[in-house]
Amino acid sequence: LFVLDKPYPNLERASRNLKDIGMIRSEGINVYDLLNHGHVVLLEPAVRMIEGALLS
């Protein structure tokens, strides 16, 4: 699962043919998606956005 801060069209196109690869924006992140993927890749700007949302 890739957690993105904004749309990355090239990354999304490149991952379409890969099995079990998910893309989600940081605004739409939820526990269900995190638990249903074996690996989670967070981009640094997405981490900052999640931190900001949790601290506000």
Every domain of the chain and the residues it spans = 2-55
Model's pTM, two decimal places? 0.84
- For residue 33, what pLDDT is reported? 93
State how far the alpha carbon of 12 is from the alpha carbons of 51, 52, 54, 56, in Å: 24, 25, 26, 30
- For residue 2, what pLDDT is reported? 95
> Residue 56 — very low, low, confident or very high, per pLDDT cuts 50/70/90?
confident
Are 22 and 54 within 8 A, CB to CB? no
Are 2 and 22 within 8 A, CB to CB? yes
47: left (phi over 0), alpha (psi -120 to 50) or beta: alpha
pLDDT tens by residue, 3-55 = 999 999 999 999 888 888 999 999 999 999 999 999 999 999 999 999 999 99
- For residue 51, what pLDDT is reported? 95
